[in-house]
Amino acid sequence: MKKRIVALLILLTIFLSGCWDMVEINQRLFVSSIGVDLHKEEGMNKLLVTFVYPNINAIGKNATEDRKKYIISTSCSSVFQAGKEFSTNVEYPFYYKHLKVLILGEDVIKDEKLTREIIDELNRDTKINKKLLLLVAEGSAKEILESRPPQGQITDGTIYNILRDNRSASRFTPQTLTNMITELDCNGVSILPRARKKGEELSISGAAIIKNYKLIGWIGEKENRAISLIKDKVKQELIDICYNQDILSYTITNVNSNKKIDIDEYITTNISIELEGYLQGYKMDNQVNIFKNEVLLNMERALEKQIEKEIMETLNLLQKEYNADVIGIGECLSKFHPKIWKSLQSNWEEVFPEVKFNVDVKVNIRRTGLTK
């Protein structure tokens, strides 16, 4: 009897263990970037989807293959449909948990319906990491994914690394999926970094303005820097201005910015930005030329004036040309003045261009580098 029970238990371990969902790690294709373009054709297959996945055999010390990444593309009706289309010619199933970058082609994001479909598909999926970074390609996303970075290295994930390292956060603003959705919910407007090709090389700079899931325009690096300053997203940045016919470089190490909204007859937004930093460079001179307080204060004034001007120009552009509340005035109103927001919400489109701005920049030059 005992033997029978033991035999039964041993048999049970065979039948009860196991896993329906087991896939060996080397039998998965880890998609790292996806590009979506418009496929100009009648019918359902409106998208041209490009998948990029690393060649596992080419990674590590004992790499057996040279090719670092594979790029494949197909026409299909949705992003995940593309994965199934590819299954006819790739050996393993795709695995989306490590997807890092999604590039939307210019043509796709100009179509509100398609963009909404793509975003919903990604937001709904349980596998996709919601920290997925989004980009808009000037031109086609496929070309961006195929382009080589200037270093000539063809490893996969270059775009992700550029975005992730906030070295120059003010040239572009990395945007995650959830964050974009939240901004679009609150303001109706969001910005995504712009990817484009400079000749053969890839560059990420400036931003695309997305309004109600639709591309309405581009802004350059300077405007993006101004927006980043207002939104307190700058980590480190270098600002050059012309001071007494010479170039004055100022490194920002810390930014503190605040928005306050006053409501009387008009909606007035007071933006105060406090910058901390040090002098990066001015002009070589035989005498001590900078290490005097009045000189530094003068420089601060000049910097303040220039930055204020840049910000005002950007705000003007956003208000008059795009009518896009990128800096989140609507969100701020809805949070801190909910009653007024309720009455304004329906016609915010008409109200936003009339909002008045007071920009107050305070620059602090704390150090002058190594020399006087």
Partner 1 sequence: MQRNKISNEQIKALIITIVIGVGILSLPSDVAMIMGNDGWIGILIGGLITIPFIIMIDRLFKLQPGKTFFQLGKEVLNPIVFQIFLIIEVLYIIILLSYTNRVFADVIKAYLLETTPTEVILMTMLIAISYIARSPIEVIARMAVIICPIIIIFIIFLILINIPNMDITNIYPMFQVGYKEILKGIIAALFSYSGYEFMLLALPHAEDNKKTLSYSLKGMLVVIAIYLIVFFISLSQYGIHQLKREIWPTIAIVKEVDLPGYFLENLDGIVMAVWVMVIYGTIGPYLYSAGTILSHIFQTKVHDIFILPLLPIIYIIAMLPRNLVETEEYLGKTVSYFSIVAIFIIPAVMFLSTYIYNRRNSL
Contact footprint for partner 1 (CB under 8 A): 19-21, 97-98, 123, 126, 129-131, 176, 178, 181-182, 185-186, 334-336, 338
Taking the complex as a whole, the smallest distance from the CB of residue 35 to partner 1 amounts, in Å, to 22
Distance CA 81, CA 202 (A): 28
Closer of 37 and 325 to partner 1 (Cβ): 325
Distance CA 337, CA 349 (A): 18
To 5 degrees, how large is the angle CA 187–CA 128–CA 165? Answer: 70
Distance CA 71, CA 60 (A): 20
Taking the complex as a whole, the smallest distance from the CB of residue 186 to partner 1 amounts, in Å, to 6
Place of tokens 């190594």: 370
Closer of 182 and 212 to partner 1 (Cβ): 182
Distance CA 287, CA 157 (A): 49
Q: Which of 91, 67, 71 minimizes the C-alpha distance to 141?
A: 71
Distance CA 176, CA 157 (A): 16
Taking the complex as a whole, the smallest distance from the CB of residue 271 to partner 1 amounts, in Å, to 16
Closer of 150 and 338 to partner 1 (Cβ): 338
Taking the complex as a whole, the smallest distance from the CB of residue 303 to partner 1 amounts, in Å, to 29
Taking the complex as a whole, the smallest distance from the CB of residue 330 to partner 1 amounts, in Å, to 13
Taking the complex as a whole, the smallest distance from the CB of residue 4 to partner 1 amounts, in Å, to 21
Closer of 127 and 148 to partner 1 (Cβ): 127
Distance CA 317, CA 324 (A): 9
Closer of 98 and 197 to partner 1 (Cβ): 98
To 5 degrees, how large is the angle CA 292–CA 237–CA 279? Answer: 15
Question: What is the phi/psi pair of residue 112, to 5°?
Answer: -60, -40
Closer of 107 and 183 to partner 1 (Cβ): 183
